[in-house]
Structure 1
Amino acid sequence: MRINSLQLFQFRNYKELNISLHPEIIVLYGTNGAGKTNILESIYVGTIGKSHRTNDTSDMLLFNADEAGIVVNFEKKDTPQKVNIKLFRQGPKDIRLNDTKISQKELIGTLNTVIFCPEDLQLIKGSPSGRRRFLDMEISQTSATYYHQLLQYNRLLQQRNTLLKEYRGKQNIPLAEWDIQLADMAAFIVKKRMESLKKINLLIDLMNRKLTGGLENLTIGYEQPYGKDNHLVYTKEAFYDLLQESLPQDRHRMTTSVGPHRDDLRFFSDSIDLKRFGSQGQQRTAVLSLKLSELEFIKSEVGEYPVLLLDDVLSELDEARRNNLLQFIHKRIQTVITTTDIHDFENLQGVQFIQCQEGQVHYGKP
């Protein structure tokens, strides 16, 4: 998979932009605030229909503009395709694939990308929601069914929580219909997560061994705070029973305490819990291994590597990790990298340099 060109109209600080992208490594360089990350963000919006930086569409529009546009021309299994997205300050997005209007959920999985930002280095130490989001988006890019079920589950969960608030203090809450559907979808989501995690664990351990010279094993465990005796819940019958058992607690707290929206991932280096006892170096190596395994996972599911988006992460990694990352992607994966320093790429072959400056771009080194 590769992106051939990108067009922007009134997106962030770009009034108008049209760039062609090299099939290997594209380095976007310039000072902070020049618009490097805006280009990466636009590609990611072309992937899933929304930004990784904001939930407010109007944030992505040029100042005083009422609309913005993103056009990504790419090849998937050697077939040319085009994603065209229009963003409006008021009203829903307009998303088109090869000039046919589609929904946001239909866009997922069309253009596969993996994005790696400095915030991702906090993935292990951060909140469970960030780890769940990572796993859910990785699976969603390779399974439209999973993404649809996840949307349905979250919608039902919100409805159940609304009922818990409306019936606060009352004993008889009409939840049976919601609980049956929630249990069914929860079972599907957890089974798919566990199935995917088996593949990811094989890949992440392999990547981590490459990065550490075979000195450390790395595994990801799946956790459920509501499980009993460390046994994972993954059948619809078990989820339904737990929803009934937890009803008094849910009624009191006015929220649902059982389900995949509460689950978490735990990273282990051999038997060491990296969140609690891992060094910063071990945690960063684990996250880097995770991102590299994400590339391999998507390739194993869809048949080709996704496009890799690296948003100023090289400056956050030490020299050994930078070299390992660049060695892995070089001549293998189309990669768009933002940086303020092009020193790391001067000896690499097949690199396209694009300077970003005040809403304009210039090809070549300074």
Structure 2
Amino acid sequence: MLVSSVSLKNVRNLKELNIGLSEGINILYGNNAQGKTNFLEAIYICATGRSHRTASDKEIINFKENEAFINLSSVSNGIKDKISVYLRRDLKKGIAVNGVALRKLGDLFGRLLIVMFSPEDLQLVKSGPSERRKFMDMEICQLSNVYYYELQSYYKALRQRNNFLKEISKDKSLKDTIFIWDEQIISHGIKIYNHRMEFTSDINKISSGIYSDITEAKEKLEILYKPNITPETFKQRLERSLEKDIYGGSTSYGIHKDDISFLIDGTEARNFGSQGQQRSVSLCAKLAEIELIKNKTGITPVLLLDDVLSELDSGRQFFLLSRLSDIQTLITCTGVEDVLSKVSSIENIKIFNVENGMITEKGK
């Protein structure tokens, strides 16, 4: 999969741009706060319908303007697509593919396959369970928009159950009807559980091989799904925790409490791994995302590296960049020469300077 061009207007500090990208490596360099990450954010939005940095679409629009747009052209297996995103402060976001408006956000998933890697992702092992659930959900959504709809339905039912728990605390006679919401979150939750179980099994197989390469087989990585419930126990746990849930006004058990465990030689990396080991695990998990997409779809995703190289030591930089020969990559950085020295063997490199919201291709 390739992103051939991106045009946009009023996306944060990016004013009005029309950029043609290389099929190989694209390096965007410049000082901090010039717009490099904003450009990658625009591509991310075209793939997922939302920002990876904020839940508010209004924050994406330049603060001096009332509207913004992004147009992205991509090619996959000879098929061309144009994804258009229109943002306006007083209207709901509009998304179209090849000029046809999408009625549901989930219909966008799979049109543009990407893997985003930022310094925050290096904290995947150390961060909280919500970040690891996000890691699972983002990837599975790209592979299955059915999963996206199951997530939406589950969290809608969960909110309704939590609201109903608060009503029960005021009127105990309502308790006998809680089963209505229990049935919904159990139905959607079990389907999500099955998807996550398959995903972690797949990502574990791929990551273990990558980690063996990066450590020269000196250590073994295992990634395990840590579900809060199982299909067999979900209903029973909801029933047993009902009084506690009524008291607290929230649901104690469900897939919204799931986690992932990263084990190095059988030991939990989050608690006992060194910073170097934790970063290696995070790096392997992101690289495994690329391979998983290839395996499941036959399509190589686009890789977005947002200032991540500066967070890696030279060995991990080399390990990452050595795997980019067959994948379109966008790299943001402050200094271009150091990156160029590490990717000089790769053909089709374009270099862009980013300054004050303007992106200029070097040599033009």
**TM over 0.5: same fold?**
yes
Given that 2:11 and 2:62 are in contact with CA atoms closer than 8 Å, whether structure 1 keeps it comes out as: yes
Residues 144-183 of structure 1: pairs in structure 2 closer than 5 A: 144-172=145-173, 173=175, 174-183=177-186
Secondary structure of the corresponding residue to residue 328 of structure 1: coil
Residue among 249, 256, 276 paired with 1:254: 249
Residues 114-153 of structure 1: pairs in structure 2 closer than 5 A: 114-153=115-154
Residue among 309, 312, 317 paired with 1:317: 312
Residue among 210, 216, 219 paired with 1:207: 210
Matching of residue 244 in structure 1 with residue 239 in structure 2: yes
Aligned residue number for residue 363 of structure 1? 361
| Superposed displacement of residue 169, structure 1 | 4.9
Structure 1 segments (4+ residues) deviating >2 Å: 169-174, 346-350
Secondary structure of the corresponding residue to residue 90 of structure 1: coil
Cα distance in 1 for residues equivalent to 2:74 and 2:315? 32
Aligned residue number for residue 73 of structure 1? 73
TM-score (norm 1): 0.95
Moved more, 164-173 or 192-201: 164-173
| Superposed displacement of residue 326, structure 1 | 0.3
Cα distance in 1 for residues equivalent to 2:304 and 2:345? 18
Residue among 331, 335, 342 paired with 1:337: 331
Moved more, 241-250 or 285-294: 241-250
Secondary structure of the corresponding residue to residue 143 of structure 2: coil
| Superposed displacement of residue 109, structure 1 | 1.7
| Superposed displacement of residue 63, structure 1 | 2.4
Secondary structure of the corresponding residue to residue 50 of structure 2: coil
Aligned residue number for residue 294 of structure 2? 299
Cα distance in 1 for residues equivalent to 2:353 and 2:359? 5
Aligned residue number for residue 230 of structure 1? none
| Superposed displacement of residue 171, structure 1 | 3.1
Matching of residue 198 in structure 1 with residue 196 in structure 2: no
- Letter aligned with residue 361 of structure 2: Y
Matching of residue 234 in structure 1 with residue 226 in structure 2: no
Cα distance in 2 for residues equivalent to 1:365 and 1:194? 49
Given that 2:190 and 2:231 are in contact with CA atoms closer than 8 Å, whether structure 1 keeps it comes out as: yes
Cα distance in 1 for residues equivalent to 2:279 and 2:87? 35
Aligned residue number for residue 226 of structure 2? 223
Given that 2:220 and 2:265 are in contact with CA atoms closer than 8 Å, whether structure 1 keeps it comes out as: yes
Secondary structure of the corresponding residue to residue 109 of structure 1: coil
Moved more, 341-350 or 246-255: 341-350
Moved more, 318-327 or 296-305: 296-305
- Letter aligned with residue 6 of structure 1: V
| Superposed displacement of residue 348, structure 1 | 3.6
Cα distance in 1 for residues equivalent to 2:242 and 2:170? 12
- Letter aligned with residue 136 of structure 2: L
Given that 1:169 and 1:252 are in contact with CA atoms closer than 8 Å, whether structure 2 keeps it comes out as: no
- Letter aligned with residue 111 of structure 1: L
- Letter aligned with residue 154 of structure 1: Y
Q: What are the superposed Cα offsets for residues 149-174 of structure 1, whole Å, 9 maximum, x if unpaired?
A: 01100110011011112222543422
- Give the count of matched residue pairs: 357
Secondary structure of the corresponding residue to residue 51 of structure 2: coil
Q: Which runs of 5+ in 2 are unaligned?
A: none
Secondary structure of the corresponding residue to residue 182 of structure 2: helix
Q: Which runs of 5+ in 1 are unaligned?
A: 228-232
Secondary structure of the corresponding residue to residue 167 of structure 1: helix
Q: What are the superposed Cα offsets for residues 260-307 of structure 1, whole Å, 9 maximum, x if unpaired?
A: 000111100111110000000000000000000000111111111110
- Letter aligned with residue 178 of structure 1: W
TM-score (norm 2): 0.95
| Superposed displacement of residue 365, structure 1 | 6.7
| Superposed displacement of residue 120, structure 1 | 0.9
Distance verdict in 2 for CA 1:224–1:171, change over 3 Å: farther
Residue among 332, 335, 349 paired with 2:346: 349
Moved more, 314-323 or 343-352: 343-352
Moved more, 305-314 or 238-247: 238-247
Residues 280-295 of structure 1: pairs in structure 2 closer than 5 A: 280-295=275-290
Given that 1:355 and 1:365 are in contact with CA atoms closer than 8 Å, whether structure 2 keeps it comes out as: no
Q: What are the superposed Cα offsets for residues 114-135 of structure 1, whole Å, 9 maximum, x if unpaired?
A: 1011111111111100000110
Given that 1:314 and 1:322 are in contact with CA atoms closer than 8 Å, whether structure 2 keeps it comes out as: yes
